[in-house]
Structure 1
Amino acid sequence: MMQTIVGWHVDLEFSEDEDTGKTKASCLVRLPDGTELRGHGRAKRHPDDMEQQRVGEEIAAARALNELCRNLMKKAGHEIEEATHIPAHIAM
C-alpha cells in the first residue's frame, strides 16, 4: 500500500474581458523546498463564436498548466544536473 507523504496545491486564477472575448489564466504551485513556479495562458474567442466563458477558461487554464509543467521539468532537470554533473534529458 502506498502512503501519501506530501501534497501540492495548484492555484488557478482567471481574468476575462467580455468585450474582446479574451481570457487569461495564471497558475502557481508552491513546492516543499519553498520554490514558487508559475504558468500563464490565454484564450481568445473568435468574434463569430457564441460566448462560452467556461470554454475560454478551460483553454487558458490548459495553456497555463502546460507552461507550469515545462517550468517544473526544467527545475527537475537542473536539480538532476547539479547532483550528477551530467546533462539531463527529460522527455515530456
Structure 2
Amino acid sequence: MTHTWNVSIELFTSGDAGSAEHVTAARAVLTTTAGRELEGYGRAKLNPEDKDVPEIGEELAAARALRELADRLLRATSDDISAVEHQKIRLAR
C-alpha cells in the first residue's frame, strides 16, 4: 500500500529589495491522505551589507518553515502515541 503526503511551500516578500526591511517569509503545509494539515512558518531577513539574492532568502525561509513543520509533525506523532499508550511520550528530534 502506498500513501502520498503533499507539502506545499508558499513564499512571500515584503519591503524594498536591498533594504534592511526586505523580508522573505515561507509557509509550509503538509496535507496527509486523510486530509489532516500541519503548518510551519519561517522567515529570512536581508542583511543590508549582503548582496540581494532573492533565491537565498527564499531557501532560508523555506528551510526554516520545513524545520518548524517537522517539529510540529513530531509533536503530533508524540501526542497520537500518547493517546494510544495512555502515557506521556516524547520523541527525540
What TM-score, normalized to structure 2?
Answer: 0.89
* Equivalent residues, number: 89
Superposition CA RMSD, Å: 1.2
Alignment equivalent of 1:17, drawn from 3, 11, 14? 14
Q: Secondary structure at the match of 1:14?
A: strand
Aligned partners of 1:53 and 1:89: how far apart in 2?
38
Partner of 2:33: helix, strand, or coil?
coil
Long gaps (5+) in structure 2: none
Question: In 2 relative to 1, CA 46–23 (structure 1 residues): closer, same or farther, beyond 3 Å?
Answer: same
Kept in 1: contact 2:4–2:32 (CA 8 A): no
2:29 paired with 1:5 = no
1:72 maps to which residue?
73
Provide the residue aligned with 2:86 in structure 1.
Answer: 85
Q: Tell me the TM-score normalized by structure 1.
A: 0.90
Matches within 5 A, 1:49-68: 49-68=50-69
Q: Structure 1 vs Structure 2: percent identity of aligned residues?
A: 35
- Distance (whole Å) between structure 2 residues aligned to residue 73 and residue 61 of structure 1: 18
